[in-house]
């Protein structure tokens, strides 16, 4: 029953919140309480799976591989746990960081619906249901992107939904073809059947279609432009949730599908994934280096960080996948925190244009210190969490003699440090003359609801860096489960171990 709660809790919360439509203060409390419950449930599920146990539940009385099956292994439990952490931070921040207009038009029910889709995608063991969860989070994220009604937001929302609908069509097409040749969409059943399927060229085509579909959703090169074209229009808490989670759902689908259903070494996918990873890292970080809009700069960094995760998948060794999972967790926390910090900086300085900001370190030194933690972690500065994640991925790549991509990863890290230094210099270090047209109203300055989640996420980043060994042991076990999916297959098909 525990495995159902990460889906049922936010879904039922969304329904309850609709019933409290005209009472935003009640909605805030219910939404925050729901996120705390989700985090507690996820932590319990992680505890259950940390020993290697795989938790499953079959909905209804259908025998395997029919019906809907939810599965939690270490990777799934880690992902819903970090989702719970970010959702709690966003809900707390939203209590003073989101405007009344959005609250009045379904902000909290939409967030809960989005979390339902995210958790469902992490727990499903069926490709068609993965498609359904993708569509649920797409619909709710589209409305959240458009919520507010500004011209820039609507333009960004149209770009966002157009590219993601194309991804959905490609996803559904690939799923239909796969079902036609395999006769099943259960991931566990597919892992057992695909080695015996004779139509290898069709399977290769299906694998490429999934690469395109998940690549759009994960914002990999060259399918990434929808992300910086839309994420810079989002309010800070929405941007934090999107940047932390939505592209990572696409990455999760990559890791699950290309180790369980289509191992990356089949169909010539390894080389393709590795090449794409290099371009994704470079294009993303170069795009960030020339940006001055705070959120747009961070959006390009989302793209560059996806390159590291694809690099890990393409290398495909236990160390690489462990590093990739560690990197995912680190990146979700750090990236969400940077979006929240950008929102506070904009409220203090009156703009998201970093050239119009300045002097924030003297005005709010705590914000500058809190910014340095995720910023330096994102750049891979030791001993923060990003350093250990990048070290594992790059070392795994060098062990497989991917020297060029190792160099690209190091260059990307240096350019990330450059762009974070630019933000520090423009936003915090330089002095700025007072300008009544851009200076924020003191009454709008952040209160504890905005400081607390930023400090929490920064503390988690520090903890993951200073005490990385326990988490790395856990993600190493998750990597071994990915590379040896026999236990996962047996759990989905309800075979005796």
Q: Please tell me the total number of residues recorded for the chain in this structure.
A: 497
User: Residue 58 — very low, low, confident or very high, per pLDDT cuts 50/70/90?
Assistant: confident
Is the predicted pLDDT of residue 496 greater than 80, yes or no? no
What is the rounded distance in angstroms from the CA atom of residue 473 to the CA atom of residue 194? 31
User: Residue 33 — very low, low, confident or very high, per pLDDT cuts 50/70/90?
Assistant: very high
Q: For the chain, give every domain's residue range.
A: 264-483
The pLDDT, as a whole number, for residue 195 is 82
pLDDT digits (tens, 9 = 90+) for 414-458: 999 999 999 999 999 888 655 544 444 434 545 678 889 999 999
The pLDDT, as a whole number, for residue 4 is 93
DSSP for 308-367?
Answer: HHHHHHHH-SHHHHHHHHHHHHHHHHHHHHHHHHHHHHHHHHS-SBGGG---HHHH-HHH
Average pLDDT over residues 401-422: 94
pLDDT digits (tens, 9 = 90+) for 112-166: 999 999 999 999 999 999 999 999 988 998 888 888 766 777 787 888 888 888 9
Q: Contact, 396 vs 320, CB < 8 A?
A: yes
**CA gyration radius for the chain?**
22
Closest CA to 161 of 133, 137, 127, 132: 137
Between 369 and 149, where is the model more confident?
369
What is the rounded distance in angstroms from the CA atom of residue 406 to the CA atom of residue 485? 28
pLDDT digits (tens, 9 = 90+) for 61-91: 777 777 788 999 999 999 999 999 999 999 9
The pLDDT, as a whole number, for residue 491 is 85
Q: How many CB atoms lie within 10 A of CB 304?
A: 27
- Residue 309, token pair as written in the block: 């995760």
């Amino acid at each position: 029953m525990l495995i159902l709660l990460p889906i049922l809790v936010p879904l039922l919360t969304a329904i309850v919140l609709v019933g409290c439509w005209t009472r935003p203060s009640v909605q805030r409390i219910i939404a925050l309480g729901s996120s705390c419950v989700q985090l507690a449930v996820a932590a319990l599920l992680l505890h259950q799976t940390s020993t290697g146990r795989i938790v499953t539940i079959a909905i209804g009385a259908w025998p395997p591989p029919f019906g809907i099956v939810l599965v939690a292994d270490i990777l799934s439990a880690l992902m819903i746990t970090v989702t719970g952490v970010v959702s709690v931070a966003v809900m707390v921040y939203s209590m003073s960081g989101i405007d009344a207009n959005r609250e009045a038009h379904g902000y909290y029910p939409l967030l809960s619906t989005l979390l339902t889709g995210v958790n469902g995608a992490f727990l499903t063991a069926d490709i068609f249901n993965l498609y359904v969860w993708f569509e649920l989070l797409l619909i709710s994220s589209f409305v959240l992107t458009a919520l507010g009604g500004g011209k820039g937001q609507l333009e960004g929302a149209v770009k966002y939904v157009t590219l993601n609908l194309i991804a959905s069509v490609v996803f559904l097409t690939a799923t239909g073809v796969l079902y036609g040749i395999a006769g099943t969409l259960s991931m566990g059943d597919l892992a057992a059947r695909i080695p015996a399927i004779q139509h290898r060229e069709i399977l290769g085509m299906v694998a490429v279609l999934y690469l395109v579909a998940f690549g759009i959703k994960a914002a990999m090169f060259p399918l990434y432009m929808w992300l910086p074209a839309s994420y810079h229009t989002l309010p800070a808490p929405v941007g934090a949730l999107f940047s932390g989670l939505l592209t990572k759902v696409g990455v999760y689908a990559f890791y699950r599908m290309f180790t369980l259903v289509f191992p990356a070494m089949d169909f010539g996918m390894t080389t393709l994934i590795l090449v794409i990873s290099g371009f994704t890292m470079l294009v993303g970080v170069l795009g960030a280096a020339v940006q001055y809009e705070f959120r747009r700069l961070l959006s390009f960094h989302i793209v560059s960080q996806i390159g590291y995760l694809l690099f890990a998948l393409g290398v495909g060794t236990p160390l690489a996948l462990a590093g990739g999972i560690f990197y995912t967790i680190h990146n979700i926390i750090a990236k969400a925190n940077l979006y929240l910090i950008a929102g506070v900086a904009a409220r203090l300085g009156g703009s998201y244009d970093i050239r119009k900001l300045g002097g924030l370190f003297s005005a709010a030194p705590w914000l500058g210190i809190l910014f340095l933690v995720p910023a330096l972690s994102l750049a891979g500065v030791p001993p923060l969490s990003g350093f250990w994640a990048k070290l594992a991925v790059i070392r795994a790549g060098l062990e497989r003699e991917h020297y060029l991509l190792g160099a690209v990863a190091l260059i990307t890290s240096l350019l990330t440090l450059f762009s974070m230094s630019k933000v520090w210099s423009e936003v915090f270090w330089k002095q700025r003359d007072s300008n009544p047209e851009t200076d924020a109203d003191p009454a709008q300055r952040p209160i504890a609801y905005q400081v607390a989640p930023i400090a929490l996420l920064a503390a988690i980043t520090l903890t993951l860096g200073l005490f990385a060994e326990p988490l790395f042991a856990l993600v190493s076990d998750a990597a071994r489960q990915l590379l040896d999916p026999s236990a996962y297959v047996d759990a989905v098909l309800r075979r005796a171990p």
